[in-house]
Amino acid sequence: MIKKYFPFTIIFFIGVFFGLTIHDLAPSLQEVRLTNPRAEVRYTVDKKSEENSNFKEAIQLFIQEATKSGDILSISVYFRAFGDGSWFGIREDISYAPASLLKVPLMIAYFKRAQVEQGILEKKIFYAGGEDRNEKELTRTASSLLPGTYSTLKLIERMIVHSGNNSQQVLEENIDKTFYKEVYTDLGLPFKKSEQEINFVSAKEIAIVFRILYNASYLNRASSERTLDFLTRTDFQDGLVGGVPDSLTVAHKFGERAYRIVQDTDEVIVIEFHDCGIVYALRNPYILCIMTKGQSLEEQKQAIQTISGLVYRKVTE
């Protein structure tokens, strides 16, 4: 009698096991919202075979028109689609001052540390107050950071969502510098030796950082999802976001830097303004990084928005 029912007993327990396993996996599968659900992206060795000349030509024509007046001095663009692997670059290797774009690798460094040091994101940090480092920003999105005690995670949120410079300062002061430098090396970015130094980067180099987050290839899946979620809540809406439908999710970060130069004996202000991120277009999400230099912030923002719209229409047509 035992032998008669033994096979059915085995089948029953196997069914229960797999049922529990699927149940346990279901929540984690549902959490894959912003990272690559395939866990890998197709890239070919032959770079030229993937370059989308139609995209590139359309954007080049716009850039030629946008830079005619001289108010915009330079525009660099890097695009890569995750769905079909297509890409194009326009002056994508030209270096700019990244400014607030470097808040992204700082966030990544903290989440990387949290994978080996339990409780670091919940750690409380006291901020005594000081000069409002966002006060002189041309694109101000952050209110002043008030004196008080904040969790590391709260400071990261303010730094990314509201581009808080004081939050960035506090976080940089409280991270192990050796570890922080290692993260920069891992991401392929130059690490500045002092606060006064500028570590220039290109659109392609910054795009790689977003690609790493999307593929969850440096942080684990949960941490990558969390960092991208912060980036989807960035409150600057006039660049990449302005060129796509309101319903579309965009995980991005902007950066700006203004400085004075002497031109024909006159002192003029040069502005570098950038917006880089992931646009979650249906069936074919893509990275778009646009970096600009000029003397008209509004025209530079408008150029980024227009290029974003052109790319989105090309991807979805």
For the segment 49-76, the average pLDDT, to the nearest whole number, is 88
Query: Higher model confidence: residue 110 or residue 10?
Result: 110
For the segment 230-244, the average pLDDT, to the nearest whole number, is 95
**Architecture, CATH, for domain 43-316:** 3-Layer(aba) Sandwich (3.40)
Q: How far apart are CA 230 and CA 226, in angstroms?
A: 7
Task: Supply the DSSP string of 96-159, one letter for each residue.
Answer: E--GGGGHHHHHHHHHHHHTTSTTTTT-EEEE-----TTTT-SS--PPPPPSEEEEHHHHHHHH
254-273 pLDDT per residue, tens: 999 999 887 777 788 999 99
Query: Higher model confidence: residue 42 or residue 214?
Result: 214
140-196 pLDDT per residue, tens: 777 789 999 999 999 999 999 999 999 999 999 999 999 999 999 999 999 987 766
Task: Supply the DSSP string of the chain, one letter for each residue.
Answer: -HHHHHHHHHHHHHHHHHHHHHHHHHHHHHT-SSS-TTS-----S-HHHHB-HHHHHHHHHHHHHHTSSSSEEEEEEEEEETTT--EEEESTT-EE--GGGGHHHHHHHHHHHHTTSTTTTT-EEEE-----TTTT-SS--PPPPPSEEEEHHHHHHHHHHS--HHHHHHHHHTS-HHHHHHHHHHHT-PPPSSTT----EEHHHHHHHHHHHHHTSSS-HHHHHHHHHHHHT-S--SSTGGGS-TTS-EEEEEEEEEEEEEETTEEEEEEEEEEEEEE--TT--EEEEEEEEES-HHHHHHHHHHHHHHHHHHHH-
207-234 pLDDT per residue, tens: 999 999 999 999 999 999 999 999 999 9
Residue 29, pLDDT above cutoff 70: no
The pLDDT value recorded for residue 28 is 46
The pLDDT value recorded for residue 17 is 39
pLDDT class of 99 with cuts at 50, 70, 90: very high
Q: How far apart are CA 159 and CA 109, in angstroms?
A: 14
pLDDT class of 39 with cuts at 50, 70, 90: low
Q: What are the structural domain ranges in the chain?
A: 43-316
At position 94, the amino acid (one-letter code) is I
Residue 285, pLDDT above cutoff 70: yes
Highest mean pLDDT (candidates 39-43, 55-59, 270-274):
270-274
pLDDT class of 131 with cuts at 50, 70, 90: very high
Residue 14, pLDDT above cutoff 50: no
The pTM assigned to this predicted structure is 0.86
The pLDDT value recorded for residue 20 is 37
pLDDT class of 50 with cuts at 50, 70, 90: low
Q: How far apart are the first and last CA of the chain?
A: 66
The average confidence (pLDDT) of the chain is 87
Q: Return the minimum-mean-pLDDT range out of 24-28, 211-215, 251-255, 292-296.
A: 24-28
Of the chain, the percentage scoring pLDDT greater than 90 comes to 71
Q: Return the minimum-mean-pLDDT range out of 40-49, 96-105, 186-195, 308-317.
A: 40-49
Q: How far apart are CA 228 and CA 79, in angstroms?
A: 18
